[in-house]
Amino acid sequence: MSNYRIHGATGDWEIVVGLEVHAQVTSNAKLFSGASTQFGAEPNTQVSLVDAAMPGMLPVPNRECVRQAVRTGMAIEAEIHKWSRFDRKNYFYADLPQGYQISQLYHPIVGKGALTIEADEKAGIPEDRTIGIERIHIEQDAGKLMHDQHPTMSYVDLNRVGVALMEIVSDPDMTSPAEAGAYVRKLRAILRYVGSCDGNMEEGSMRADVNVSVRRVGDTELGTRTETKNVNSVRFVMQTIEHEAQRQVNVLEDGGTIVQETRLFDPGTGTTRSMRSKEDAHDYRYFPDPDLLPLELDDEFLEACRASLPELPDAKRLRYENELGLTPYNARELTADVEVFARFETLLGETASAIGKPEAKVATQVANWALSVAPGVVKSLGDEADVSHGTAARQAAILKMQDAGEISGGQAKEIYEIVLKTGREPDEIADTEGLKQVSDTGAIEAAIDAIIAGNGDKVEQYKGGKDKLFGFFVGQTMKAMQGKANPAVVNQILKDKLG
Amino acid sequence: MPRTENDFTQLGIREIRDGVAGGDFTAREVAESLNAAVEAATSLNAFIVTTPEKALEAADATDAARAAGKALGPMAGVPIGMKDLFCTNGVQTTAASHILEGFIPHYESTVSANLWAAGAGMLGKLNLDQFAMGSSNETSYFGNVSSPWRKAGSNAPMSPGGSSGGSSSAIAARLCPAATGTDTGGSIRQPAAFTGICGIKPTYGRCSRWGVVAFASSLDQAGPMARSVEDCAIMLGAMAGFDPKDSTSLDAPVPDWFGNLDADMRGKKVGIPREYRMEGTDQAILDSWDRGAEWLRDAGAEIVDVSLPHTKYALPAYYIVAPAEASSNLARYDGVRYGLRDLPDGAGLQDMYAATRAAGFGDEVKRRVMLGTYVLSAGFYDAYYTQAMKVRTLVQRDFDAAFEQCDVILAPTTPTASFPLNSLNDDPLTMYLNDVFAVPASLAGLPAMSVPATLTEDGLPLGLQIVGRAMDEQSVLNAGLAIEQRAGFTAQPEKWW
Amino acid sequence: MSVTREEVAKIAQLARIKMGEGDLDHLVPEFNKILEWVEQLGEVDTAGVEPMTAVIDQKLRLRDDVIDADPKTGGGRRDDVLANAPAAEHGFYGVPKVIE
Ligand SMILES: [Mg+2]
Ligand SMILES: [Zn+2]
């Protein structure tokens, strides 16, 4: 339970949040027709006779959409219902050609599950929290209306009609905007790991209906909730909750009551407003779709779904900590998203084999490089960087030279800069640009001898117990070597010579 | 069958296709003859549009195929009527509703496509009750269909039954040898009975629903209507088949129903359901039922009593389930993508929907859409819809139990013979009762057929109904054949149109 | 149970069928008569009976995830889907302006 409170004039309030996330299922074709799901096509070009609800058209479900919903359910350790059904949700709107949405109300394909959001002190999540997931069901997406193309008409594009969605309904388990944000991020990560949704919130592949209510601290009964529809970023979800909770507290403290209603979030102002246009349509007259038989899944299908599941975020994070020896912070950062861990694991593999050590031995070095060094270089270069030049092989070559003491950390960055700008090979850069450390003991010894000779007083003080002066000698040596001496070698020789 | 020169209107499917295949006459001659009959019969109002050119085109294709020595399909050279509930590519499809007036599909229903592939040609699109909702063909936006039959001593136009009333009228009047029908709660069998022809509703799922304007999805089933049992068997074979585009289509081979026709009923048991002996049923109907049992006994069958205890509740259950599904299926008629749009001055989107649907739907359609909307609405769903679907389970169980004691069930098709147009439409309930014997088999998805039995004293046809086990159309057709052979029904309406 | 005129009007609104007072005059009694008749279903003891889910015992088949495998159920036919539209403009369906 978070400490998030709204401090009203009459006392403190806590909030209760539940999310219904609509996630577009990754599939080539739509849920009930063969039309493409590709984003961004010309209007009405990805519309079949079925999607346009021509007379006599019938739905036939896409196996891949069913499979992805089942795999998603397995990833949140939910009950998978071997027997489910499609229902019709009836209402009239121009984005809904059939006059009903095929969805699942009475018998969803996935039942109760859960996911865990990790403690994040800074964000106000003091400890790990398990958020219940009530159900996942499959349903059709609706079309798009455009209101600004004609003075008296709205234009209807049905390309999205019938694209498969998973509606993932959480329990009302979240108690702060931060928890809701963490929940959406974690859910997104799981979906992307599983490959059942690309999680692209800008293209609308993931959007949340945000249910918020407030109650006085200590109350056990839930307050009346509002549902803010189609919020399409983590930040907006958090803003919606902040604004909506504050608004509800204001209303209640002014002696008003909360109306159970549908609201819209305005990203421009960060506020929500009532969506009256849909208010009269609330009698959806759900009933089983008579065009479709019950969906029955056999053990073979379920086994294949399970066998195809990848390592999931929580398991991967623990493995990174326990087997690769990464810090909890690094493990969490590296497993937060598919692309991040995929890049890390490729680089880790390349580096370990280049160096000839087990992955666990180089993991920390690679993790630091991947999380802070490399991104820092990319950032500092800005437009000058062509990240496609920074292949895993080239990064591994840099890490190998660094591991062998041939280059310093600073040189590694410099080399990587040149790699990103030019696409040249790191070994060649190190050679031709003079970006190599000197490990030649002869040259280093000569430099150290000169420094000891010229600083007799400091040598005496050091030998007399002023240990801190060791840094002075290192600095002098590195200066004399123009920064290219291998620090380990310098340290060793200094220790030998100073006694 | 006697025929005068160039008059092919008396021939059935088998006679036409065999005659064409054998070179006795050409498909074009047949098509021309039937086109002429159709054109001369406008007073029946059986067709919404006629397509003589389509009939000729198909006939020429058959003649050319024959000349080239190619194999001919099972319906080659046979021109038929197409109920205007089947979407036909490039030809207006209306479901007899104003809301679809002018709608020209850019696709062909699976069933009609199967028929064209089998060599049939299209004479035109047949009138029907609007959205197949009705039992008298008085709900069409395009006007009532008249039966070719008249009561002895009367000129009053009679109902051809419904909803496939254009089909039944056209076949009885010899405008076409056969036509497609659809049956949701008796819409093939009742009009067949009213007009002295045959019609079979196969097992739910035998004929694809893809491209057929939906009324009630869990009940709708297409089937053939023709003047003989063997013609029904041939045409059903051409219509049926697995269709991956229809989730409820049966993935099962299509038997050779025609090839396996056999009127020998020895070793078969015929069940007589005692609950069908209802109050209000005409004595003539009860008499014909008894004679039907006699005919089947004569064919070698054993007659047994069976019980279908929930019969009484089938019709009210149907009038919940069918309107509920229809209310949702008809939501797509909204004036946005096709069909009628009524946009009053200053109307918003929702006003446009309400105005379009008010102008586009007929009274009976509105009544059923409203009823369906009501029974599904919040607070009523379980009491009405769920209860009706439970009763449906019970009706099906009744049949399962009965079929442990018999192979087919014999019953009347209708409680009365045809009635004059405009005589029953004051009271929807009385009209609904027409289907009291037909609806139970629909609720259970079973194959059921009507064959002509006798004429009433008034000279109107009566039909007998045979219901079979799921997937067992063969037994239904065989029993139908046994009755047909013994009934000797050769009566034809006197031509007045 | 019988329904009032107001309730029938509400159902008409839900079904998006514009209905005048005259329409309601004849519909309300008809509607009640039909409802009274279907309500005899309440007499049937259905305790322990499952509502029918499939008319004929069979399982739902699933389709392969292939785009436009069959033109009858595939996309890429804008002209066909717009051909019958009362107001098609610039590849869109036109409807009276909606204020959300
Ligand atoms: Mg929602
Ligand atoms: Zn949803």
SS3 A125: strand
Per the CB < 8 A criterion, the answer to whether B147 and B159 are in contact is yes
Tokens 């109350």, residue?
A219
* Burial tier of A78 (Cβ tally within 10 Å: 0-12, 13-18, 19+): buried
Q: What are phi and psi of A93, to 5 degrees?
A: -160, 155
> Are residue A108 and residue A177 in the same domain, yes or no?
yes
Averaged pLDDT for residues A254-261: 93
Are the beta carbons of A88 and B216 separated by less than 8 Å? no
Per the CB < 8 A criterion, the answer to whether B448 and B468 are in contact is yes
> Are residue A400 and residue A484 in the same domain, yes or no?
no
Length of chain B as a residue count: 497
Q: A20 C-alpha vs ligand 1 centroid, how far in Å?
A: 6
Print burial letters for B16-35: b (CB count within 10 Å at least 16), e (below 16): bbebbbeeebbbbbbbbbbb
Distance (Å, rounded) from C-alpha C27 to C-alpha B263?
Answer: 49
Q: CATH no. for residue A457?
A: 1.10.10.410
Paired residues of B80 in beta bridges: B122
Listed in sequence order, the residues at least 6 apart from B436 whose beta carbon sits closer than 8 Å to its beta carbon are B278, B314, B315, B415
pLDDT of residue A464: 87
Interface of B with A (CB under 8 A): 86-87, 93, 95, 100, 103, 105-107, 109, 209-214, 216-218, 244-248, 324-325, 327-328, 330-332, 334, 336-338, 349-350, 353, 373, 376-378, 381, 385
- For each of chain B's 497 residues, which pLDDT tens digit applies? 445 677 999 999 999 999 999 999 999 999 999 999 999 999 999 999 999 999 999 999 999 999 999 999 999 999 999 999 999 999 999 999 999 999 999 999 999 999 999 999 999 999 999 999 999 999 999 999 999 999 999 999 999 999 999 999 999 999 999 999 999 999 999 999 999 999 999 999 999 999 999 999 999 999 999 999 999 999 999 999 999 999 999 999 999 999 999 999 999 999 999 999 988 788 999 999 999 999 999 999 999 999 999 999 999 999 999 999 999 999 999 999 999 999 999 999 999 999 999 999 999 999 999 999 999 999 999 999 999 999 999 999 999 999 999 999 999 999 999 999 999 877 888 899 999 999 999 999 999 999 999 999 999 999 999 999 999 999 999 999 999 999 999 999 999 99
DSSP-derived pairing of the beta strands A83-84 and A87-90: unpaired
pLDDT of residue A25: 98
Tokens 């869990």, residue?
B218
> Are residue A412 and residue A446 in the same domain, yes or no?
no
Print burial letters for A127-143: b (CB count within 10 Å at least 16), e (below 16): eebebebbbbbbbbbbb
Per the CB < 8 A criterion, the answer to whether B310 and B439 are in contact is no
Kindly state whether residue A156 falls inside one of the protein's structural domains.
yes
Distance (Å, rounded) from C-alpha B261 to C-alpha B231?
Answer: 11
Phi-psi region of B12 (alpha: psi -120 to 50; beta: other; left: phi over 0): beta
Domain residues for the domain of B54 are 13-262+477-487
Listed in sequence order, the residues at least 6 apart from A257 whose beta carbon sits closer than 8 Å to its beta carbon are A224, A251
Q: A281 C-alpha vs ligand 2 centroid, how far in Å?
A: 15
Predicted confidence (pLDDT) per residue in A303-362, tens digit: 999 999 999 999 999 999 999 999 999 999 999 999 999 999 999 999 999 999 999 999
Per the CB < 8 A criterion, the answer to whether B362 and B97 are in contact is yes
Q: CATH no. for residue B169?
A: 3.90.1300.10
Q: A222 C-alpha vs ligand 1 centroid, how far in Å?
A: 18
Strand order in the sheet with B408-412: B47-50, B121-126, B79-83, B178-183, B221-226, B198-201, B448-455, B461-468, B408-412, B269-273, B302-306
Interface contact C54, partner A, CB < 8 A? yes
Per the CB < 8 A criterion, the answer to whether A106 and A61 are in contact is no
Distance (Å, rounded) from C-alpha A143 to C-alpha A150?
Answer: 18
Q: Per the omega criterion (within 30 degrees of 0), is the bond before B169 cis?
A: no
Q: What are phi and psi of B434, to 5 degrees?
A: -55, -30
- Domains detected in chain C: 5-43 (1.10.20)
Paired residues of B302 in beta bridges: B269
| Amino acid letter, B205 | G
Distance (Å, rounded) from C-alpha B114 to C-alpha C35?
Answer: 41
Distance (Å, rounded) from C-alpha B357 to C-alpha B341?
Answer: 8
Q: A207 C-alpha vs ligand 2 centroid, how far in Å?
A: 10
- Pick from B352, A161, B348, A155: nearest CA to C89: A155
SS3 B75: coil
In this structure, the number of other CB atoms found within 10 A of the CB of residue C25 comes to: 10
Per the CB < 8 A criterion, the answer to whether C75 and C68 are in contact is yes
- Closest-lying ligand to the alpha carbon of A229? 1
> Are residue A38 and residue A128 in the same domain, yes or no?
yes
> Are residue A283 and residue A322 in the same domain, yes or no?
no
Query: Which of B217, B332, B349 is opposite residue A94, by nearest beta carbon?
Result: B349
Q: Which two tokens stand for residue A497?
A: 């010579």
Distance (Å, rounded) from C-alpha A285 to C-alpha B222?
Answer: 28
Distance (Å, rounded) from C-alpha B415 to C-alpha B429?
Answer: 14
> Are residue A425 and residue A456 in the same domain, yes or no?
no
Rounded to the nearest angstrom, the gap between the alpha carbon of residue A126 and the centroid of all alpha carbons in its chain is: 20
Q: pLDDT band for position A437 (50/70/90)?
A: confident
pLDDT of residue B1: 43
A-contacting chains (≥3 CB pairs under 8 Å) = B, C
CA atoms within 13 A on the CB side of A84: 25
Kindly state whether residue A36 falls inside one of the protein's structural domains.
yes
Kindly state whether residue A322 falls inside one of the protein's structural domains.
yes
CA distance B442 to chain C (A): 9
How many domains, in total, are found in chain B?
A: 1
- Pick from B203, B190, B144, B196: nearest CA to B164: B190
Interface test with B, best of A96, A105, A285, A296 (most B CBs within 10 A): A285
> Are residue A235 and residue A269 in the same domain, yes or no?
yes
In this structure, the number of other CB atoms found within 10 A of the CB of residue A55 comes to: 27
Q: Which two tokens stand for residue A224?
A: 């009346």
Query: Which of A53, A58, A292 is opposite residue B332, by nearest beta carbon?
Result: A53
The residues of B carrying an active-site annotation are 83, 163, 187
Write out the E strands in B84-211.
Answer: 121-126, 178-183, 198-201
pLDDT of residue B2: 45
> Are residue A226 and residue A331 in the same domain, yes or no?
no
Predicted confidence (pLDDT) per residue in A444-470, tens digit: 888 888 898 888 898 888 888 888 888
Interface contact B349, partner C, CB < 8 A? yes
Kindly state whether residue A1 falls inside one of the protein's structural domains.
no
- Radius of gyration of chain C from Cα atoms? 23
Are the beta carbons of C37 and B357 separated by less than 8 Å? no
Per the CB < 8 A criterion, the answer to whether A166 and A72 are in contact is yes
Q: What are phi and psi of A156, to 5 degrees?
A: -115, 125
Per the CB < 8 A criterion, the answer to whether C3 and C35 are in contact is yes
- Pick from B227, B230, B223, B285: nearest CA to B411: B285
Listed in sequence order, the residues at least 6 apart from B493 whose beta carbon sits closer than 8 Å to its beta carbon are B147, B148, B149, B150, B172, B173, B196
Interface contact C1, partner A, CB < 8 A? no
pLDDT of residue A440: 76
Largest Cα–Cα distance in chain B? 72
Kindly state whether residue A97 falls inside one of the protein's structural domains.
yes
Residue A142 has pLDDT above 80, yes or no: yes
In this structure, the number of other CB atoms found within 10 A of the CB of residue B359 comes to: 16
Kindly state whether residue B142 falls inside one of the protein's structural domains.
yes
Helix (H) or strand (E) holding A360: helix A359-368
Interface of A with B (CB under 8 A): 49, 52-61, 88, 90, 92-94, 97-100, 154, 156, 283, 285-287, 290-293
Distance (Å, rounded) from C-alpha A430 to C-alpha A414?
Answer: 9
Q: A210 C-alpha vs ligand 1 centroid, how far in Å?
A: 8
Q: What are phi and psi of A334, to 5 degrees?
A: -75, -20
Kindly state whether residue B247 falls inside one of the protein's structural domains.
yes
Print burial letters for B95-131: b (CB count within 10 Å at least 16), e (below 16): bbbbbbbebebbbbbbbbbbbbebbbbbbbbbbbbbb
> Are residue A186 and residue A81 in the same domain, yes or no?
yes
Per the CB < 8 A criterion, the answer to whether A362 and A350 are in contact is no
From A303, A330, A364, give the residue that closes a domain. A303
Paired residues of B201 in beta bridges: B448
Q: Work out the percent of chain A whose per-residue pLDDT is above 70.
A: 99
Q: Which two tokens stand for residue B428?
A: 């929807």
Helix (H) or strand (E) holding A8: strand A6-8
Predicted confidence (pLDDT) per residue in C57-99, tens digit: 899 999 999 999 999 999 999 999 999 999 999 999 999 999 7
* Burial tier of B464 (Cβ tally within 10 Å: 0-12, 13-18, 19+): buried
Distance (Å, rounded) from C-alpha B474 to C-alpha B468?
Answer: 9
Kindly state whether residue A308 falls inside one of the protein's structural domains.
no
> Are residue A428 and residue A450 in the same domain, yes or no?
no
In this structure, the number of other CB atoms found within 10 A of the CB of residue A480 comes to: 17
Kindly state whether residue B90 falls inside one of the protein's structural domains.
yes
Per the CB < 8 A criterion, the answer to whether A211 and A223 are in contact is no
Rounded to the nearest angstrom, the gap between the alpha carbon of residue B92 and the centroid of all alpha carbons in its chain is: 20
pLDDT of residue B4: 62
Kindly state whether residue B295 falls inside one of the protein's structural domains.
no
Nearest-Cα residue of chain B relative to residue C19: B358
Give this prediction's pTM. 0.93
> Are residue A243 and residue A321 in the same domain, yes or no?
no
Rounded to the nearest angstrom, the gap between the alpha carbon of residue A369 and the centroid of all alpha carbons in its chain is: 20
> Are residue A280 and residue A352 in the same domain, yes or no?
no
Q: Which two tokens stand for residue B91?
A: 């030809």
pLDDT of residue A278: 52
- Pick from B255, B338, B282, B242: nearest CA to B453: B282
Domain residues for the domain of A286 are 6-303
The region of weakest confidence among A140-149, A150-159, B3-12 is B3-12
Are the beta carbons of A90 and B107 separated by less than 8 Å? no
Per the CB < 8 A criterion, the answer to whether B8 and B25 are in contact is yes
Kindly state whether residue B84 falls inside one of the protein's structural domains.
yes
Distance (Å, rounded) from C-alpha A381 to C-alpha A385?
Answer: 5
Tokens 């052979």, residue?
B485
Kindly state whether residue B390 falls inside one of the protein's structural domains.
no
How many domains, in total, are found in chain A?
A: 3
Q: Which two tokens stand for residue A319?
A: 């493995």
Q: Helix, strand, coil shares of chain B as percentages rounded to 5?
A: 40, 15, 45
